[in-house]
Amino acid sequence: MSAALRRPRGAYRRSVRVAALPVLAALLLSVGCSSVDEETGAGSTGPGVTKEPCPNAIDKAKGCIYLGALSDLEGGPFAVIGQAVNAGQTDFWRKVNESGGIGGKYEVDLATNTKNTSYDAQKHAAGYKEIEPKILALALSLGTVQTQAILDDMDSDNVVAAAGTFWSGWQFPETDKGLVLESGYSYCTEAVIGLDWLAANKSKPTKLASVGFPGDYGGDYAEGVKRWADANGAQVVATIKTAPNQVAGNQDGPVQQIVSAAPDVVTLATGPAETAEIIGKAVAAGYKGRFIGAGPTWNGALLKTPAAPALKALYNSTSPFDGWDGTSAGIAEAKAATAGKVPSNWAYIAGWAISKPIKQILDIAAEQDKLNRVDIRKLANSLEANFDGLAPNQVYGKAPVAKSFTGSIAVPDDSAPMGTKTVEANYKAPTLEKIKYDSPCVMP
β-pair partners for 424: 409
How many residues does the structure list for the chain?
444
Question: What's the CA gap between 364 and 97, in Å, rounded?
Answer: 16
Q: For residue 43, what are the contacts with CB-CB under 8 A and spacing of at least 6? A: 35, 36, 37, 372
151-179 mean pLDDT = 96
Q: What is the mean pLDDT of residues 166-174?
A: 94
* Identity of residue 15: S
If DSSP states are collapsed to H, E and C, what string results for 182-213?
Answer: CCCCCHHHHHHHHHHHHHHHCCCCCEEEEEEC
Confidence of residue 172 (pLDDT cuts 50, 70, 90): very high
Taking each helix axis from N to C terminus, what angle separates 22-30 and 9-19, rounded to the nearest 10 degrees? 110
Question: Which pLDDT belongs to residue 426?
Answer: 94
pLDDT tens column, 65-86: 999 999 999 999 889 899 999 9
Biggest CA-to-CA distance, the chain: 77
Q: What is the average pLDDT across 370-395?
A: 95
> What residues pair up with 268 in beta bridges, in sequence order?
211, 293
Alpha helices in 132-171 (DSSP H): 144-157
Average per-residue pLDDT in the chain? 90
Binning pLDDT at 50, 70 and 90, where does residue 340 land? confident
**For 232-283, how does the pLDDT look when each residue is reduced to its tens digit (9 = 90+)?**
999 999 999 999 998 999 999 999 999 999 999 999 999 999 999 999 999 9
Query: The pTM is what?
Result: 0.86
pLDDT tier, 44 (very low <50, low <70, confident <90, very high otherwise): low
Query: What is the amino acid identity at position 306?
Result: P
Beta strand pairing status for 290-293 and 180-181?
A: unpaired
CA distance 291 to 298: 12
Q: How far apart, in whole angstroms, are the C-alpha atoms of residue 141 and residue 128?
A: 9
pLDDT of residue 22: 37
